[in-house]
Amino acid sequence: MPPDVRILTNIDAIATRAAQDFVQSATQAVSEKGSFTVALAGGSTPKVLYSLLASDTALRSQVPWDKMYVYFGDERSVGPDHPDSNFRMATETMLSKVPLKPEQVFRVKGEYKDTEKAAQEYEQVLRTSFKIAEGQFPRFDLVFLGIGNEGHTASLFPGTKALHETKHLVVRNWVGKLYTNRITLTAPAINNAARVIFMITGADKALALKGILEGPYEPEQLPAQLIQPPNGKLLWLVDTVAGGMLSIGIRE
């Protein structure tokens, strides 16, 4: 099946479309099982989406905030107040502005000096909150992702050890080119989701995106290729410049 790629005019159009999917996913999950689980992404594109969900009255009123549980796809090795923290960005743009209780938000402890401990702890948080046993993976209702201009997604970077992980839900991943550890959901954990949405903007992503979607399957080079949920929907929301080199995609 060809990938579901939608090419939209700009970042605002992507945020609007993603917000509609967010609301749809949330209401469906709540009607089916009484709760909604979402894993958020860091970066500039999701920022616009989070602000929209918090500030647009019509959208905001449709979100079942009281039944929502928020997780993170990855985190940097920084504390929750650090400018680079994905948690801080999500908190400033959305989480602090909507009716969510602290116990509905599960952050990665990026401030731990021992990133291995942070990864193990977050894995345990997922196992407990999703009530899953060893060997099982959580089923997120929705996971948001982006890509880097070299094809990474979450903190699954080209040539890193995490790309080969099959058992863990969360791992510490050493990223040599950034000289840092990152804490990330693994590909199998993401792939068990009901819905995954990539949001991609900017001309600097065009070449990697073409490689991911139209090139040979070589996830060592382009880790975003690992994300192919077998029992879920995968949607690519791309702006015109990021999708400028694609020969596939529906223009919306």
Q: 3-state class of 7 per DSSP?
A: strand
Strands 180-185 and 170-175, bridge-based pairing: antiparallel
Backbone torsion region of residue 34, taken as left when φ is above 0, otherwise alpha when ψ lies between -120 and 50, otherwise beta: left
Q: What is the CATH number of the domain that holds 224?
A: 3.40.50.1360
Q: Give the C-alpha separation, 46 to 199, whole Å.
A: 7
Task: Give me the amino acid identity at 76.
Answer: R
- Residue 44: the pLDDT is 87
Widest Cα–Cα separation across the chain: 46
User: For residue 199, what are the domain limits?
Assistant: 4-251
Nearest Cα to 39, choosing from 87, 83, 4? 87
- Residue 1: the pLDDT is 78
Strands 68-72 and 36-40, bridge-based pairing: parallel
Per-residue pLDDT of the chain (252 residues; tens, 9 = 90+): 789 999 999 999 999 999 999 999 999 999 999 999 999 999 889 999 999 999 999 999 999 999 999 999 999 999 999 999 999 999 999 999 999 999 999 999 999 999 999 999 999 999 999 999 989 999 999 999 999 999 999 999 999 999 999 999 999 999 999 999 999 999 999 999 999 999 999 999 999 999 999 999 999 999 999 999 999 999 999 999 999 999 999 998
- Residue 220: the pLDDT is 98
Count, residues in the chain:
252
Q: Give the C-alpha separation, 213 to 216, whole Å.
A: 9
Strands 36-40 and 142-145, bridge-based pairing: parallel
DSSP β-bridge partners for residue 175: 180
How many independent structural domains does the chain possess?
Answer: 1
Other C-beta atoms closer than 10 Å to the C-beta of 227 total: 22
- Residue 153: the pLDDT is 98
